[in-house]
Amino acid sequence: MTPRIEAVAIDSLMVRLFDAIDEGNMPWILAASQRLREAFGQQLIDLVPSYTTLMVQFDLAPGEARQRIQHALEGLRPDAGQAGRRHEIPVWYHASVGPELPVLAARGGMSEAEVIRLHCGRDYPVFALGFAPGFGFMGLVDERLATPRLSTPRKRVAAGSVGIAERQTAAYPAVSPGGWNLIGRTPVRLFDREREGYSLLQPGDRVRFVAVERAEFINLGGDDSPLEAQA
Amino acid sequence: MSQLRVEASTALCLLQDAGRFGVRHLGVTQGGALDWVAMRWANWLLGNALDSAVVEIALGGFSVVAEQDCVLALAGADLDAQVNGQAVAPWTRFNLGKGQRLTLRQPRQGVRAYLAVPGGFVGEPVLGSCSTVVREELGGLDGQGRALVKGEVLHAAGAVVGQVRSHVPEALRPVYAEKPVLDLVMGAQIGDFGGTSLFEAFNRDWTLDSRADRMGIRLLGPQLVYQGAPMISEGIPLGAVQVPPDGQPIVLLNDRQTIGGYPRLGALTPLALAQLAQCMPGSAVRFRAVVQDEAWREQQLYLLRWR
């Protein structure tokens, strides 16, 4: 493992560990993230892990920062699983809050129940957070669920909406525009400024979606307003 | 303690400081004053910590009335500022007596003015900053990410840490050139732009599109052609100049998304971003390629102005 280190801005370097998206990347990214945080300490301004890279922003001369990165990542080993938490996220899968649930079923020539079974059938690593605070890009979903983004994004997607884009899945932490195929909704608050760490999901965490009925969704604080009515 | 009541405001009048840091991995944007140089001078005039919260006023349409006698400072764009009809020069400290009205009407030079009060404006810090990010509902007076509106009362924190000055010396003020040359730190994908793209990127004028906000500014000019492999989303630094498939670059600013997958020429330097923040839609800029180390050294030298 010899990472490439590239200049990206006056005070930022990109550490490139991989060339392709793979679930197996995440233990390496997590390990690198920990080492870089330790190596830079107070001189770290921000560290942005993503699918194959870590962007390091520092308060330090760039040459010195580059050396520090090289040194920190010598002999890098993948994280053995202590870092990163596993979350079970309840989802009410229903066409009224997830209008593409029937669409995905029809597309794949299967029942809605089968779509739900497949979506809940595996743990997804959180590759990166982005798009909005607490929005975790996860994957990869079963190939039979892979669906391109909507050709015209919705102007307004309800908070908690769970969606699929190609082979990735995510939940919208807040109301926002969005182009993912929606199949259900979670009552869980994904981003909370009062919470330690703010975001439920952190890069490298693993997520298992768990199907719940409408009654439980409501009990857990979910808002079952149909998507159109939330405008 | 100074208090100002907002008499007129727009969606572009926002409480800002240096922005949010240490939270980019959570998808939280940076925010902060687009022209950080002017923000610093406004605070410097009052002896404030240089990153104290200020009001960023883009294009004018802003007016406040003093509820007590106040000392204020303005830096950045000349937005035709007046106190009860008397012109106030930018880059100065001035008094606003109880009941007097400060108005910033319209741009005469530049785009964004920064208004400071002693100790900085009081906001509700969220994730370590008062910077207003409307899209993320973070920052501002009450922490909910709203622009300033008529009727709100702005409070000064009052705690001053340094010396008070009457004006920013002429020689130290930024020059708002008609066609600024913006330093761009070259990025790793720069070699993957084909044909004449690189020559054109650095030798032709780029016109600021009207499609511009605090997330980014689109530039219009020759079509740049990226010939590299498709990219996987990765962290986006401040000032990144990304090139979507239409070949027209977008400079990503303080409220940008945290990760993205378009190829980049590189990233503008902080000084270039401060200049760009004062450019009107329709005006032209040029890029100059610089290497990271050289840009860093120049930035360190510039920061000595506030030592």
Residues A21, A24, A26, A30: is their CA dihedral positive or negative? negative
B240 interaction partners in chain A (CB closer than 8 Å): 8-9
Length of chain A counted residue by residue: 231
Interface of A with B in 135-174 (CB under 8 A): 135, 137, 174
What is the C-alpha to C-alpha distance for residues A104 and A82, in angstroms, rounded to an integer?
36
Interface of A with B in 52-71 (CB under 8 A): 52-55, 57, 61-63
Establish if A113 belongs to a structural domain.
yes
One domain, residues A162 and A203: yes
pLDDT at residue B17 is higher than 70: yes
One domain, residues B22 and B151: yes
Structural domain harbouring B49: 3-172
- Inter-chain Cβ pairs, chain A and chain B, closer than 8 A: 133
Q: In the prediction, which pLDDT does A1 show?
A: 72
One domain, residues A115 and A218: yes
Interface of A with B in 113-132 (CB under 8 A): 128-132
One domain, residues A192 and A137: yes
What is the C-alpha to C-alpha distance for residues B195 and B76, in angstroms, rounded to an integer?
39
One domain, residues B71 and B47: yes
Structural domain harbouring A159: 86-230
DSSP state of A149: P
A135 interaction partners in chain B (CB closer than 8 Å): 27
CB B22 to CB A46 under 8 A? yes
To the nearest whole Å, the CA of B99 is away from the closest chain A CA by 38
Residue whose C-alpha is closest to residue B131's, from B274, B257, B58, B33: B33
| Phi then psi dihedrals of residue B244, to 5 deg | -75, 175
One domain, residues B21 and B162: yes
Last residue of a domain, one of B172, B206, B233: B172
Within 8 A by CB and 6+ apart from B252, the residues are: B215, B216, B236, B238, B239, B240, B241, B242, B260
What is the C-alpha to C-alpha distance for residues A100 and A90, in angstroms, rounded to an integer?
18
What is the C-alpha to C-alpha distance for residues A190 and A178, in angstroms, rounded to an integer?
16
**Cα distances (angstroms) measured from residue A77 to each of A26, A27, A50, A73:** 12, 9, 18, 9
Model confidence at B272, in pLDDT bands (50, 70, 90)?
very high
For chain A, the domain total comes to 2
pLDDT at residue B64 is higher than 70: yes
One domain, residues B100 and B222: no
CB A62 to CB B26 under 8 A? no
Residue type at B100 in one-letter notation: Q
One domain, residues B225 and B288: yes
Length of chain B counted residue by residue: 307
pLDDT at residue A231 is higher than 70: no
Within 8 A by CB and 6+ apart from A193, the residues are: B126, B127, B138, B143
One domain, residues A27 and A134: no
Asked if B267 contacts B161 with a C-beta cutoff of 8 angstroms, the reply is no
pLDDT at residue A228 is higher than 70: no
CB B137 to CB A62 under 8 A? no
The SS3 assignment for A106 reads helix
One domain, residues A40 and A115: no
One domain, residues A142 and A204: yes
CA–chain centroid gap for B282, Å, is 18
One domain, residues B208 and B232: yes
Give the mutation candidate from A10, A36, A51 for the B interface (greatest B CB count, under 10 A).
A10
> In this complex, which of B21, B135, B232 lies closest to A52 when CB atoms are compared?
B232
One domain, residues A134 and A200: yes
For residue A18, the chain B residue with the least C-alpha distance is B232
Last residue of a domain, one of B172, B197, B216: B172
- Work out the average pLDDT over B147-168: 93
DSSP sequence for chain B: --EEEEEE--TTEEEE-S---S-GGGT------SSHHHHHHHHHHTT--TT--EEEEESS-EEEEESS-EEEEEEEEE--EEETTEE--TTEEEEE-TT-EEEE-S-SEEEEEEEE-TT-B----BTTB---BTTTTBBSSSSB-PPP-TT-EEEB-----S---SB--GGGSPP--SSPEEEEEE-GGGGGB-TTHHHHHHHS-EEEEEEE-SSEEEEESSPP-B-SPPPPPEE--TTEEE--TTS--EEE-TT--SEE-S-EEEEE-HHHHHHHTTPPTT-EEEEEEE-HHHHHHHHHHHHGGG-
DSSP state of A17: -
One domain, residues A165 and A202: yes
One domain, residues A61 and A110: no
Prediction ipTM score: 0.96
One domain, residues A135 and A55: no
CA–chain centroid gap for A203, Å, is 7
pLDDT over 70 percentage in chain B: 100
One domain, residues A46 and A102: no
Establish if A77 belongs to a structural domain.
no
- Work out the average pLDDT over B60-64: 98
- Global pTM? 0.94
> In this complex, which of B127, B239, B292 lies closest to A7 when CB atoms are compared?
B292
B299 touches chain A (CB under 8 A): yes
Establish if A79 belongs to a structural domain.
no
Within 8 A by CB and 6+ apart from A127, the residues are: A21, A25, A26, A50, A51, A136, A137, A138, A139, A168, A203
pLDDT at residue A207 is higher than 70: yes
Average pLDDT, chain A: 94
The CATH number covering residue A165 comes to 2.40.100.10
N-terminal to C-terminal alpha carbon distance within chain A: 49
Asked if B126 contacts B15 with a C-beta cutoff of 8 angstroms, the reply is no
Establish if A188 belongs to a structural domain.
yes
Bigger pLDDT: B63 vs A195? B63
- In Å, the largest CA–CA distance within chain B is 63
One domain, residues B28 and B64: yes
Last residue of a domain, one of A37, A72, A107: A72
Establish if A78 belongs to a structural domain.
no
Helix axes A112-119, A101-108, angle to 10 degrees: 100
B37-60: pLDDT as tens digits: 999 999 999 999 999 999 999 999
Task: Tell me how crowded residue B62 is: count the other CB atoms within 10 A of its CB.
Answer: 25
CB B127 to CB A63 under 8 A? no
The SS3 assignment for A131 reads coil
The CATH number covering residue A29 comes to 3.30.1360.40
Interface of B with A in 263-292 (CB under 8 A): 264, 266-267, 269-270, 291-292
Last residue of a domain, one of B138, B154, B172: B172
The SS3 assignment for A35 reads helix
Establish if A80 belongs to a structural domain.
no
Model confidence at B161, in pLDDT bands (50, 70, 90)?
confident
One domain, residues B191 and B44: no
pLDDT at residue B156 is higher than 70: yes
CB B185 to CB A7 under 8 A? yes
For chain B, the domain total comes to 2
One domain, residues A44 and A68: yes
